[in-house]
Amino acid sequence: MAPIARRAHALKEALDRKKLIPEGFIENFTKLMEVDWDPANGARVVARAWVDPAFRTLLIKDGTRACEQFGYTGPQGEYIVALENTPTLQNVIVCTLCSCTAWPVLGLPPDWYKSFEYRSRVVRESRSVLREMGLDLPESVEIKVWDTTAETRYMVLPFRPAGTEGWSEEKLASIVTKDVLIGVARPLANA
Amino acid sequence: MAPIARRAHALKEALDRKKLIPEGFIENFTKLMEVDWDPANGARVVARAWVDPAFRTLLIKDGTRACEQFGYTGPQGEYIVALENTPTLQNVIVCTLCSCTAWPVLGLPPDWYKSFEYRSRVVRESRSVLREMGLDLPESVEIKVWDTTAETRYMVLPFRPAGTEGWSEEKLASIVTKDVLIGVARPLANA
Amino acid sequence: MDGIHDLGGTDGFGTVPHHVNSQSYKPVFHEPWEHLAYSLLFLGADHLKTFNVDELRHAIERMEPRQYLAAPYYDRIVVGTASLYVEKGVLTQAELEALAGGAFPLARPQTEGRAARPTRSHFEVGDEVIATRDFIRGHTRMPKYVRGKKGRIVHRTSVEWPFPDAAGHGREALRQPTYHVSFDAKDLFGDGAEASSVVVDLWEGYLEKAGAPNV
Amino acid sequence: MDGIHDLGGTDGFGTVPHHVNSQSYKPVFHEPWEHLAYSLLFLGADHLKTFNVDELRHAIERMEPRQYLAAPYYDRIVVGTASLYVEKGVLTQAELEALAGGAFPLARPQTEGRAARPTRSHFEVGDEVIATRDFIRGHTRMPKYVRGKKGRIVHRTSVEWPFPDAAGHGREALRQPTYHVSFDAKDLFGDGAEASSVVVDLWEGYLEKAGAPNV
């Protein structure tokens, strides 16, 4: 088998020779993926929900519309549902069948999210998987796993940690990481 | 990863250095595998059952004892059950979990029997698998698949084909192949 | 299909290769060819309309299982995408292999797929439903770990999408809402289950009202 | 365990690489090292009594799934056998790697296994039984495609064998008969099933009387 770098370039070259790739198409799409789709987007949405009760209500009722207010739309973001954590409930997102994720608000899925280890294990051994990854939840915290098997794209809405009173939205957003938005981490005031 | 030939020899060498391999152990066991365990054994059992009704009754009632009469005993042959075909019933043997087979009467399992293709498909798509392999059974023939998931070791007892009247046991045995004993082929008088 | 890709609940894999919050996630791509995987996929699915994303998912599922398991993620996207360009007649495998200077194995052949059953009345939030006992040879988005299991609807989508078991085969596909169905994790994975519940997003055609016969 | 080895019913694999009666099956081994796989396995299981064959099966199941799927058959036997010699303290992985002149990956770690439930009364030929809904993390010889399914007993063995879910972990194992349980293939694989029935050989501890609650 030819190495994957050679196969990937062969596919591009074959399409190019048939003039099927519009000028700038790959560059523009790559910029979307590398720059525009970013977990900082989701973090801004979460921070707003933490400081604005009306926005929080909208986010939970209609995540797509709430994210649209920030301009976070596009492929893999057409139907966004926010999953609200509480101190005793941790929501965790996976796609066991492939790799579906809310690109516009979370960015492209990270390698570990697409790993066979995560996909196979988190639905069955969620607590052990989270502990191994560094999130050791007490038994009193219930874990709910959301398998992204259709067109809904989930984002986790974490609960605002103690010690963040009076923080600006920007500072609040800074503790909401990609891992927090997937549900394998919780935000910390002293992170 | 070191190539498998090197890993296999390393395992032998490591055991050898600790003087754990008795003189001749590997040679004797290899002779058993290469020479003694042979599908010709099972073929002799089938031929006897075709010409000797009392033996046939014993084979069906207690396959282990019937095979013992020929000296076909040993590992993977401690509990032998013969599965009787009829013109409208084809028994087929598989081991979906690993590779279990009745070594003393069938010989070691062939590569295709141990293939992921056979193990995954024959329980679910038995008719298609047999057809692809060259045994195109009419719909009127029922297929029963036996998964060797415990210690029973199966052998298929085919029905004696027309056109073999008056044949010697030796000639009868000659049309009972390893594939016939596994159940993916039927014996033919004009093979 | 009950393929190697349907990984939920499979035992034997080791530790997830990540410690939380240890990565910046930049750069997004690690190899200079990786961005081509999604770019050329979206070229075909979005710009050229040569295939849809359900077909892409199915093309990846149709990879020979050993190839699927051995290939890194973006390699699988490249193979699935290339398979569809070839199956749709845009490119040939020979062209690709000539340009790659070596073998370029593509997905295994398609099966037929299946149409969605005709629309029935919708389910409501709170309804108990059973995931059908169907064994689908083609594309489906119902993971096998819910087959025949009882769950409760927690959300019905306000949008409808093409039934993937048809769309994934390039067939005309009815649109249906999907449902977030909450399953008790113990019903799915026995006493060792470590979540309280697993919520799966299922097309209407994958569901039957609980209490119907044969469930 | 619901491992990659539990292949019955998995979709996506191609044609069986064989045409009936086309091979002489001689020579039995195709590579000069292949006979070592079984010889050194039986050295450990039979002559040295270092481990049993159930443990060997489980050691192979514990191979990293990608390694399992990529390895030829006798390679898997070598890895399983070597893993047990190392786990039992007879050899070390370092010794093996030094002699092999390269990496010698072994099976992933064991779990605990489980004891058989205490003996009950036997089932009889003709009884309807249900394969338990257990999800076993360790070794088991009940393929997942029969879990929770109803079948009928066609034979009870006259011999009893160690319960593999214990024996496969080197634990003291109760002996039980096994039963040839005939399942309607459609119950196992839906309408596309192509056999009339699939008969699976199941230890007594894998079975419950049909009609018991929750089945």
Q: What ipTM was reported for this prediction? A: 0.96
Smallest CA–CA distance, residue B120 to chain C, in Å, is 10
Indicate if the pLDDT at residue C212 is higher than 70: no
Same domain, residue pair D38 and D91: yes
**Peptide bond before residue C27 is cis, with ω within 30 degrees of 0:** yes
Residue A95 a catalytic site member: yes
CA A165 to chain C, closest CA, distance in angstroms equals 23
Residue D112 lies in a domain: no
Are D10 and C65 in contact (CB < 8 Å)? yes
Are residue C139 and residue C205 in the same domain, yes or no? Answer: yes
Give the residue-averaged pLDDT of B139-148.
97
On whether both C147 and C184 belong to a single domain, the answer is: yes
Q: What is the pLDDT of residue D212?
A: 58
pLDDT in tens, B91-131: 999 999 999 999 999 999 999 999 999 999 999 999 999 99
Interface membership of B1 toward C (CB under 8 Å): no
Residue D7 lies in a domain: no
**D204 domain-assigned:** yes
Active-site residue, A67 included: no
Q: What distances in angstroms separate CA A93 from CA A100, A101, B180, C161, one per listed residue?
A: 10, 9, 51, 21
A95 marked among binding-site residues: yes
Pairing of the two strands B153-157 and C128-131? unpaired
Note whether residue D121 is domain-resident: no
DSSP H/E element including B90? strand B89-94
Cβ atoms of residues A147 and C199 within 8 Å = yes
pLDDT score of D50 more than 80: yes
Q: Has residue C113 been placed in a domain? A: no
Residues D146 and D78 in one domain: no
Instruction: Determine contact: C200 vs chain D, CB below 8 A.
Output: no
Give me the number of domains chain C comprises: 2
**D98: contact with C, CB 8 A cutoff:** no
Q: How far apart are CA C161 and CA C144, in angstroms?
A: 21
D81 with D151, same domain: the answer is no
Per-residue pLDDT averaged across C34-51, rounded? 98
Domain closes at, from D64, D81, D100: D100
Known binder of ligand: residue A126?
Answer: no
Given A98, A115, A128, A168, the catalytic residue: A98
**D40 and D89, same domain (yes or no):** yes
Q: Helix or strand or coil: residue C46?
A: helix
What pLDDT score was predicted for residue A191? Answer: 60
Contact call for A and B: 3+ CB–CB distances under 8 Å:
no
Cα distance from C5 to chain B (closest Cα, Å)? 15
Domains of chain A: 38-182 (3.90.330.10)
D65 interface with A at CB cutoff 8 Å: yes
In order of A185, C27, C115, D99, the CA distances from A12 in angstroms are: 38, 22, 33, 45
Cα separation, B22 vs D84, in Å, equals 19
Both D37 and D90 in one domain: the answer is yes
pLDDT value at residue C121: 81
- Residue C47 belongs to some domain of the structure: yes
Per the structure, the complete domain to which residue C42 belongs is given by 33-100
> Could you tell me which residues of B are annotated as the binding site?
95, 98-100
Same domain, D142 and D86: no
**Shared-domain flag, residues C96 and C159:** no
Count of CA atoms in the C-beta half-sphere (13 A) of A95 = 25
Residue A81: strand, helix, or coil: strand
Q: Is the pLDDT of residue A146 over 50?
A: yes
pLDDT tens track for C63-116: 999 999 999 999 999 999 999 999 999 999 999 999 999 999 999 999 999 998
φ, ψ for residue D97, nearest 5 deg = -70, -35
* Subunits adjacent to chain D (3 or more Cβ pairs under 8 Å): A, B, C
Q: What is the CATH number of the domain that holds D82?
A: 1.10.472.20
> What CATH number does the domain containing D164 carry?
2.30.30.50
Which pTM does this prediction carry?
Answer: 0.96
A100 marked as binding residue: yes
C118 lies in a domain?
Answer: no
pLDDT band at D215 (very low <50, low <70, confident <90, very high): very low
Model pLDDT for residues D196-213, shown as the tens digit of each residue: 999 999 999 999 999 755
Reduced to 3 states (helix: H, G, I; strand: E, B; else coil), residue D37 is helix
The active-site residue, picked from B67, B95, B126, B174, is B95
Rounded CA separation D74/A113 (Å)? 33
Residue C69 in domain: yes
The CA distance from C44 to C53, in Å, is: 9
The pLDDT value recorded for residue C214 is 46
CB B83 within 8 A of CB B73: no
Per-residue pLDDT band for D214 (boundaries 50, 70, 90) equals very low
Q: Do both C150 and C192 map to the same domain?
A: yes
Express each pLDDT in A82-108 by its tens digit: 999 999 999 999 999 999 999 999 999
